[in-house]
Structure 1
Amino acid sequence: MSSNRILPESLVERVASLCSAFSPDATVQQTVVEAVENEIIAGLNAHSAHPGEWREEDCSLMMLDSWVKAIPSGSEKTITYALDLGGTNARFLRLVAKGNGVVEEKIKIQNIREVDDKKYPDGMLDRRVTASKFFDYFAQSLHNFMKESGDLDDFNEEEKEVFKLSFSFSFACQQKSLTHADLLFWTKGFFTGMDTEDPVEKRDVGALMAEALKRNSVPMELVALVNDTVGTLVSGAYQKPSNIPACLIGVIIGTGFNICYYEENAQKYEYSGKVINMEMGSFNKALPYTIADIEVNFIKKI
């Protein structure tokens, strides 16, 4: 049976019409670019007026302080672990930075929706999972990863040797230091702790992670807490070839969408760091209104 069916012209036109809505012309693109620039300026001025306090009426972009004061040159040398949490999967990494932009990495990926406990159908995202259980899960997973990597074979507890941990936590947080970040609200289908007296929202996820490491006797010290855009920027800056321009922007397009950038004049706007987390997904100015928006808004009202 032939598969070379000719689609009705009306259907072809319908598909073309739908697709064209997502291909804005140059005029629309320029309008959006100018709107983004205006929002960035408004967000910087708003942060200068009331540091650490986002007001939606001032700017749709949160323009959050990352507390990252510099980006790497590529010459740094260290061994560190990293935990990357931003969606259904958690990534555990062992990184060896060798200098000259070279990084050796070992990665382990776990689906945090799929756990052995049948009590929680949504896994670690379940609203009945407490903050303690949530972070214990990651601490225990890190401990197992260290064993698999051989870093505990000759470990001497008496020497108090600990490994560094960088935590990429890709949710909107109010950052108060490089290791202190209060989760403003969950997104991406996370409801962890919402039906418990031990929630995650409105609490310092850095402290929760550090407490879990200590509680589970994991020889690690949390040294940095960033979101995935900042992690992407730092990683790109370290690994970029020396003959290309500086890496100053980090972009994530995945379960969510976000951008961070290096702001040379950050101190002028009362930032402690120089990398600003824009929380770009909340941008709502000058975007074209498509049939998809109409349908989504209609479904929300049902």
Structure 2
Amino acid sequence: MTGSVSIPPQLKAQVEEHLEPLILSDEKLRDISQRFLKEMDKGLGKSTHHRASVKMLPTFVRATPDGTEKGDFLALDLGGTNFRVLRVQVMEHAVKKMDSQICPIPQEIMVGRGTQLFDHIAACMSEFLDSQNLKGETLPLGFTFSFPCEQKEIDKSILIRWTKGFNCSGVEGKDVVKLLKEAIHRRRDFNIGSVAMVNDTVGTMMSCGYPNSHCEIAIIIGTGTNACYMEDMKNVQRVQGEDGQMCINTEWGGFGDDGSLDDFLTEFDREIDRTSINRGVHTFEKMISGMYLGDIVRLVLKKLTEDKLLFKGKVSDALCTAGKFETKFISDIEKPDTKIGIENTRKILTDLKLDFDTVDLHVVHLVCQTISKRSAHLCAAALATIANRIRENRGLERLKSTVGVDGTVYRKHPTFSEELQKKVKTLAPECELTFLISEDGSGKGAALVTAVAERLARQSRLLDSDSENDEEN
């Protein structure tokens, strides 16, 4: 289904008039890119960080894998109502998930005392180590903790606030690594080695970086959206030191929270924000991510129906109810096989109790296509900014790099990845980017962050001992 086929010219012109604010020309995307760059600089600045909408958080991850990392590692992935414990074996140029265990978190623990939560995690870790006959070993741990945190060091991370239904007392404002270690110490039946705190986007970059050491950018486009990349230390003003690089967690979902995207927001975006549980924040994310795309389509369809351009002008309850038009419907409707796409659209509109004809099917397809394309193009504008920045940091005429990617929107939408990649080429012609889908960023990726931290610590100890020997000589 090509969207505009089978729509009478007059109707097509009227529908396109409604969709026009949602279509972003290359000129507009370059403008957005410039604004994003300005916010990145603000986020990295010591005196400007506090007022930046793109927070540019230092992760204290100072290198990507080089293929020499090896050893056994534990990974802990906490970000929802279940958490995972994994054993990961890192060998030269290969990463193998040996085994894992999923542990549910009961509702009463999610809203209970913080000590209860960490005692529960420690108990599940103990059970897993028993099953692996690893109780006597002290393994390093990669800890993916997918809640808003301020990272102070690779092994020190302060919880800013709970999200996703968690509300454990005594944790906000505290170092979660310390709380985990205290819970393990209370048990006295196992120990862990060094701990590396891992953001899920950083885990994505690392998991794609092992077979390919050129991976220095990662993006997630799923329920939410974010990106990270390797920045030159001389530009990271909030962390001491000028040499080398550090991975920066951009938190790009907040781009526009300061009003810098106001002239690009449509009436539909404003309505999404007005009815959201977090008004005024995550502006960029609300234009892009899977949590909101379905509702943007729903609001456009509602407007077209009210203006008598769709569904014989009859608005159903579903069109007036948030969440009824699911984001996955967009992928179903935009199937490359026209026949399947039309059948899917018929079924979806029937389930939503809408009175439709054949022309309506094509109009709905055109709306879905416009919204998903805008999402891909906005992502491309921000990603092109990051790639160009890396290229300029290094004084290169051409940059060759890999982008690690994860998230259901990127993985499951039939044309999203193609639209994104095509537009990045247009906006960053001097950057040759290869896109690699992440395999278990929060598990394998977390173990790799720890492996790299261990390698750097070993190298640092070697350098220290060398310099001591020099002094003795």
Q: Tell me whether the two structures share a fold, i.e. TM-score over 0.5.
A: yes
Instruction: Mark the CA change 1:17 to 1:210 in structure 2 (over 3 Å): closer, same or farther.
Output: farther
Following superposition, the deviation at residue 38 of structure 1 comes to 1.4
Aligned residue number for residue 230 of structure 1: 202
Task: Give me the CA root mean square deviation.
Answer: 3.3
Following superposition, the deviation at residue 26 of structure 1 comes to 2.5
Map Cα deviations across residues 147-195 of structure 1 (whole Å, 9 max, x no partner): 222323xx3xxxxx412111011222222221111112223x24322xx
> SS at the partner of 1:225?
strand
Aligned residue number for residue 122 of structure 2: 139
Distance 1:98 1:249 in 2: 23
Could you tell me whether the CA contact under 8 Å between 1:125 and 1:192 is conserved in 2?
A: yes
Distance 2:32 2:115 in 1: 43
Residue 253 of structure 1, aligned match among 212, 218, 221? 221
Distance 1:87 1:23 in 2: 35
* Gap regions ≥5 residues in structure 1: 1-5, 156-160
Instruction: Mark the CA change 1:13 to 1:295 in structure 2 (over 3 Å): closer, same or farther.
Output: farther
The within-5 A match list for 1:1-302 is: 24-44=24-44, 46-47=45-46, 49=47, 54-56=49-51, 59-112=52-105, 115=106, 120=107, 123-126=108-111, 129-152=112-135, 155=136, 161-187=137-163, 189-193=164-168, 198-216=169-187, 217-240=189-212, 246-266=214-234, 269-272=237-240, 274-284=246-256, 285-286=260-261, 288-299=264-275
> SS at the partner of 1:70?
coil
* Greater shift in the superposed pair: 18-27 or 214-223: 18-27
Distance 1:75 1:183 in 2: 33
> SS at the partner of 2:162?
coil
Could you tell me whether the CA contact under 8 Å between 2:228 and 2:247 is conserved in 1?
A: yes
Following superposition, the deviation at residue 202 of structure 1 comes to 0.9
> SS at the partner of 2:32?
helix
Distance 1:294 1:9 in 2: 30
The residue type equivalent to 1:24 in the other structure is L
Could you tell me whether the CA contact under 8 Å between 2:103 and 2:124 is conserved in 1?
A: no
> SS at the partner of 1:143?
helix
Identity of aligned residues (%): 32
* Gap regions ≥5 residues in structure 2: 1-5, 280-473
Distance 1:10 1:132 in 2: 65
Distance 1:19 1:170 in 2: 35
Distance 2:82 2:221 in 1: 15
The residue type equivalent to 2:200 in the other structure is D
> SS at the partner of 1:269?
coil
Distance 2:109 2:23 in 1: 38
> Aligned pairs, how many?
264
TM-score, normalised via structure 2 length: 0.49
Map Cα deviations across residues 75-134 of structure 1 (whole Å, 9 max, x no partner): 21110000112234422221000112343442333443xx2xxxx4xx5432xx111111
Structure with greater strand share of residues: 1
> SS at the partner of 1:55?
helix
Q: Answer with 1 or 2: which has the greater Rg.
A: 2
Could you tell me whether the CA contact under 8 Å between 2:118 and 2:180 is conserved in 1?
A: yes
Distance 2:175 2:94 in 1: 32
Distance 1:279 1:295 in 2: 23
Instruction: Mark the CA change 1:97 to 1:38 in structure 2 (over 3 Å): closer, same or farther.
Output: same
Instruction: Mark the CA change 1:297 to 1:178 in structure 2 (over 3 Å): closer, same or farther.
Output: closer
Could you tell me whether the CA contact under 8 Å between 2:158 and 2:176 is conserved in 1?
A: yes
The residue type equivalent to 1:271 in the other structure is V
Distance 1:22 1:107 in 2: 44
Could you tell me whether the CA contact under 8 Å between 2:86 and 2:97 is conserved in 1?
A: no
Instruction: Mark the CA change 1:42 to 1:143 in structure 2 (over 3 Å): closer, same or farther.
Output: same
Instruction: Mark the CA change 1:147 to 1:13 in structure 2 (over 3 Å): closer, same or farther.
Output: farther
Could you tell me whether the CA contact under 8 Å between 1:86 and 1:228 is conserved in 2?
A: no
Distance 2:67 2:178 in 1: 29
Could you tell me whether the CA contact under 8 Å between 1:164 and 1:220 is conserved in 2?
A: yes
Aligned residue number for residue 407 of structure 2: none
Could you tell me whether the CA contact under 8 Å between 2:157 and 2:177 is conserved in 1?
A: yes
* Greater shift in the superposed pair: 20-29 or 162-171: 20-29
Instruction: Mark the CA change 1:205 to 1:31 in structure 2 (over 3 Å): closer, same or farther.
Output: same
Instruction: Mark the CA change 1:142 to 1:266 in structure 2 (over 3 Å): closer, same or farther.
Output: farther
Distance 1:214 1:60 in 2: 39
TM-score, normalised via structure 1 length: 0.75
Distance 1:135 1:292 in 2: 42
* Greater shift in the superposed pair: 139-148 or 19-28: 19-28
Structure with greater helix share of residues: 2
